[in-house]
A and B are shown apart, each in its own frame.
Chain A
Amino acid sequence: MTTAYPRRWRRPPQIVPDRRWRIGLQLLILAYLVLAVGSVEVDWTRVAEGLVRGQRFAMGFLQPDFTSRWTDIRQGLIESLTMTLTATVVGVLISVPIGIGAARNLAPPPVYLVCRSIVAVSRSLQEIIIAIFLVAMFGFGPFAGFLTLSFASIGFIAKLLADDIEEIDASQAEAIRATGASWWQLVHYAIQPQVMPRLIGLSLYRLDINFRESSVIGIVGAGGIGATLNTAIDRYEYDSAGAILLIIIAIVMVVEYSSSYLRKFLQ
């Protein structure tokens, strides 16, 4: 007896090989989607009105108005840029010791635990939530924003730096250790050369992120271009809002390109 092989080739499933699991998962997803879409309440007349406004915004984006609110925009930009730079520098300075402390191969267990928990706290809180509290404590203005961004940078850089230190080539550290080097010398001659390019890359990347975040935390009063943008949108001045957004996009692009260039140059 010959088994009837299928005449046509069928593509084997890639993700979930078991047929029963696949069907079950698909049913679950379908059920969730029905429930989720059902629970979204949409006021369609309001949306239809909104489309007209959307058109006005698109027009504002195409014909941005840089001049009439220029003093506000300029002030916001200066705050954003200075805040970004100072916060990145301070964030990196603080996160280097924390990152070294959070590396399992360099730090004793108690230090490791303390540093990892600092990282976890900093990473799990949204910038904007931190900003709300810091504004309540330190008052309005870019100083609160600077503190927010520094705090958020610590979690980001310290975590990635620690992960990088844990993955270094152990034989080089071993070689330095074999010369009788102290802990500081070990960090300086074995660890630092291996992680420095990555640390520079991370810092530049964080600079980019901090600028983007600085355009948001102004919404809760922490200074920067976000406050200006919020006001422009609240007043339905879409041409000014479009101008601000275009400036943000341009600066992000410039920062991104120059940081990738700088990284290539430094390595």
Chain B
Amino acid sequence: MSDANPFYRETSHRKPGSRPGEPRHYSQIWTFRTPHTRLAMWVGWLALVALFVYCWQVMNANTMWVFVNDTPSQAADLGSRMLPPSLGYLPELLPPLWDTLNIATLGTLGGVIMAVPVAFLAARNTTPSIAFVRPIALFIIVTSRSINSLIWALLLVAMIGPGILAGIVAIALRSIGFVGKLLYEAIEETDARQIEAVTATGAGRAQVLNYGIVPQVMPAFWGISVFRWDINIRESTILGLVGAGGIGLKLQASINTLAWPQVSTILIVILATVIFSEWVSARVRHAIL
């Protein structure tokens, strides 16, 4: 009875002669939500606020408010040290910039090469076994996605030593999850009729993949790869912080020696690179899709 029209409030008096099932009395005032929903929303918000306050207390238990309070003077000090950026430092940044570009590009290449089989094993319509192989492929994807490339780099630098190779492998490992996830979703969304048509010609499994599925996911594949390349350029600029090569190495060195004008120069170069890669990726994706 009460849910006959959720937008009207009811009073408790039923009009004499009204049929059962009909709201007893329409409220004269229109309201956005029913009282029940309003109460639920109110409780939800209250819970969120309580959780927030609790987390805030726990988080700031050890915060040194002295340091927070003198932030303005610290910021002004830092700003005065960083400006003006030392432009004479620019030529020194070109080799690491080239390394950064290589880390991103070769890493994307490696990641894509590893991600394609994983994606085909993870997609419901191409996997050899839904019960056994698919969960493994999904676990690979989740693992790769949940560990940040900087942590991959940290691990790889500890294993194979500092250098560009660690950066490339870190980027590649991180890319598997991203490319794999988007690609397997694209594979699952392929048009079944085209695959059926290819199957009807008597094609084998590999031929169905080659002529039925690959042409359908090709544009998505290139789009995803270029998108990931763009993200990888961003990420490879900072991999040097943990020793994995590229322009981040220079950033780390400049911060450690407190050469703040160099730091601001590096930041400008990083920003320019990121904007450039974003532009390239937007153009390419626009052309493909």
By the criterion CB–CB under 8 Å, are B55 and A216 in contact? Answer: no
Contacts of B270 in A (CB 8 A): 126, 129
Does B168 make an interface contact (CB < 8 A)?
Answer: yes
Q: Which of A35-67 contact B (CB under 8 A)?
A: 36-37, 39-43, 46-47, 49-51, 53-54, 57
Per a CB cutoff under 8 Å, which of A41, A42, A213 touches B148?
A: A213
Stretch at the interface among A78-86, A97-105, A158-166: A78-86
Given contacts A36-B106, A53-B159, A79-B59, contact A219 B64 (CB under 8 A): no
Q: Does B11 lie at the interface of the complex (its beta carbon under 8 Å from any beta carbon of A)? A: no
What 1/0 mask marks residues of chain B from 206 to 226 whose CB sits below 8 Å from any chain A CB? 000001000100110010000
Within 8 A of B (CB), among A118-142: 124-126, 128-129, 132-133, 136-139, 141-142
Closest B-chain residue to A246, C-beta based?
B143
The one of B148, B215, B222, B234 in contact with A216, judged by C-beta atoms closer than 8 angstroms, is: B148
**Chain A residues, Cβ within 8 Å of B146:** 212, 248-249, 252-253
Nearest B-chain residue to A242, judged by Cβ: B155
Q: A230: CB under 8 A from chain B? A: yes
Please report which residues of chain B, range 52-70, place their CB below 8 angstroms from some CB of chain A when the two chains form the complex.
52, 55-56, 58-60, 62-64, 67-68
Task: Please state if A124 and B218 are interface contacts (CB–CB under 8 Å).
Answer: no
Is residue B241 within 8 Å, beta carbon to beta carbon, of the partner chain? yes
Cross-chain contact A236 with B71 (CB below 8 angstroms):
no
User: Measured between C-beta atoms, what is the minimum distance from A227 to chain B in Å?
Assistant: 12
Q: Which residues from chain A sit less than 8 Å from chain B, CB to CB?
A: 11, 14-15, 32, 36-37, 39-43, 46-47, 49-51, 53-54, 57, 78-79, 81-83, 85-86, 89, 124-126, 128-129, 132-133, 136-139, 141-143, 146, 189, 212-213, 215-216, 219-220, 226, 229-230, 233-234, 236, 241, 245, 248-249, 252-253, 256
Contact A46 B59 (CB under 8 A): no
Q: Are B142 and A252 in contact (CB under 8 A)?
A: yes
Which of B15-23, B97-105, B113-121, B182-190 has 4 or more CB atoms under 8 Å from chain A? B97-105
Q: Is B62 a contact partner of A212 (Cβ separation < 8 A)?
A: no
Q: Say yes or no for B74: interface residue by CB 8 A criterion.
A: yes
Interface of B is mostly: helix
Q: Are the C-beta atoms of A50 and B159 separated by less than 8 Å?
A: yes
User: Is the CB–CB distance between A126 and B238 below 8 Å?
Assistant: yes
Instruction: Say whether B234 contacts A126, CB under 8 Å.
Output: yes
Listed A/B pairs (12) with beta-carbon separation below 8 Å = A15-B288, A43-B163, A57-B155, A124-B271, A136-B74, A136-B78, A215-B151, A219-B241, A229-B154, A230-B154, A241-B155, A245-B147
Which among A15, A40, A124, A213 is the interface contact of B106 at CB below 8 angstroms?
A: A40
State in angstroms the CA–CA spacing of A125 and B275 once bound together: 10
Scan residues 17-41 of chain B and give those whose CB is less than 8 A from a CB of chain A. 32
Question: Is the pair A83, B59 in contact by a Cβ cutoff of 8 Å?
Answer: yes
Q: With A36-B102, A41-B164, A47-B165 known to touch, is A78 a contact of B241 (CB < 8 Å)?
A: no
Asked whether, in the complex, the Cβ of B74 is within 8 Å of the Cβ of A40, the reply is no
In the complex, the answer to whether B63 meets A219 with C-beta atoms within 8 Å is no
Chain A, interface SS category = helix
Contact check, A40 vs B147: say whether CB atoms are below 8 A apart.
no
Known: A15-B288, A138-B67. 17 other contacts (CB 8 A): A36-B102, A41-B164, A42-B163, A43-B161, A50-B159, A79-B59, A86-B52, A124-B275, A128-B241, A133-B78, A137-B74, A141-B62, A143-B60, A212-B146, A213-B148, A230-B154, A233-B158
CA distance A85 to B50 in the complex (A): 12
Residue B51 at the chain A interface, CB threshold 8 Å? yes
Residue of B nearest to A236 (CB): B158
Known: A40-B106, A126-B238, A137-B71. Is A249-B143 also a contact (CB below 8 A)?
Answer: yes
For the complex, what is the distance from the CA of A169 to the CA of B129, rounded to whole Å? 43
A-B pairs with the 3 shortest C-beta distances? A139-B67, A50-B160, A252-B146
Q: Are B151 and A46 in contact (CB under 8 A)?
A: no
Once the chains bind, are A220 and B218 in contact (CB under 8 Å)? no
CB nearest to B266 among chain A residues: A129
Chain A residues contacting B148 (CB-CB under 8 Å) are 212-213, 215-216
**B281 contacts chain A at the CB level, 8 A cutoff:** no
User: What's the minimum C-beta distance from B47 to chain A, rounded to whole angstroms?
Assistant: 12
- Give B272's nearest chain A residue, CB to CB: A124
- CB B34 to nearest CB in A, in angstroms, measures 15
Select from chain A the residue with minimum beta-carbon distance to B59.
Answer: A82
For window 236-286 of chain B, which residues contact chain A by CB distance below 8 Å? 237-238, 241-242, 251, 255, 267, 270-271, 274-275
